[in-house]
Amino acid sequence: MYTRPEFCLSEGWETVSQAGWQAPLYWERDGCDETGWRAFTLGGWHGLAELLDTPVCHVSFFEADAFARWKGCRLPTEAEWESVASQALVCGNLLDTGRLHPASANRVGIDQLFGDCWEWTSSSYSGYPGYKPLPGPLGEYNGKFMSSQMILRGGSCVTPASHVRATYRNFFQPATRWQFSGIRLAT
């Protein structure tokens, strides 16, 4: 995606070009690792070869969308994600495990819906049908963020288990690359 504009949304390509992105956040070239890259984690620097079985994290919506297009897939909508998640057990690699980094996938069925990485969806942040802002500061808080934000779902390895449920939403601007944001593909 970093050199292939045909897979990028126009704003995404502009962001990548202007910011000079060449890899996910916290990655840098490293001649000491056989992959040529290393990544900074909450446990310090690790060669990318040590992390190959773990989900890629710290990517923007633009990076996630471009990767999905490159793979011939797409990002799920928020409704699709929630429909699947509502039938799954709410468990995973969350803050309470103490791992503090995404874990390897079990590769059985739909895996890792909760924990590890927040998953970008293709849905913009808006109110649910029938939403009306509350009066006062709480209404202002919710309402003013419903602009130029994309929805993430699932929690991450630093999200407390007590916060997570199938309806738990997070939202960030599409160029945001932090907080263990990752990718889930849909066909």
Q: Residue 156: which of 97, 85, 81 has the closest Cα?
A: 97
CB 47 within 8 A of CB 80: no
Query: What per-residue confidence (pLDDT) applies to 152?
Result: 97
In the predicted structure, residue 40 carries a pLDDT above the cut 70 = yes
Q: pLDDT, tens digit, for every residue of 99-143? A: 999 998 776 668 889 999 999 999 999 888 888 888 887 777 667
Measured distance CA(122)–CA(152) in Å, rounded: 9
Write down the residue that tokens 């070239």 correspond to: 29
Specify the pLDDT at position 93: 93
Per-residue model confidence (pLDDT) at position 141: 67
Using a 10 angstrom Cβ sphere, with 0-12 exposed, 13-18 middle and 19 or more buried, the burial of residue 77 is middle
Read off the pTM. Answer: 0.92
SS3 content of the chain, % helix, strand, coil (to 5): 25, 20, 55
Phi, psi dihedral angles at 14 (to 5 degrees): -60, -40
Q: Which domains are assigned to the chain? A: 55-182 (3.90.1580.10)
Tokens of 104: 């390897």
At residue 138, the pLDDT reads 75
Q: Could you tell me if 81 and 153 are in contact, meaning their C-beta atoms sit under 8 angstroms apart? A: yes
pLDDT at residue number 53: 85
Span 44-100, pLDDT tens digits: 999 988 888 889 999 999 999 999 999 999 999 999 999 999 999 888 999 999 999
| 91 or 145, higher pLDDT | 91
pLDDT of residue 145: 77
What pLDDT was estimated at residue 116? 94
Can you name the residues that pair with 45 across neighbouring β-strands? 40
Angle, helices 61-70 vs 10-19, to 10°: value is 120
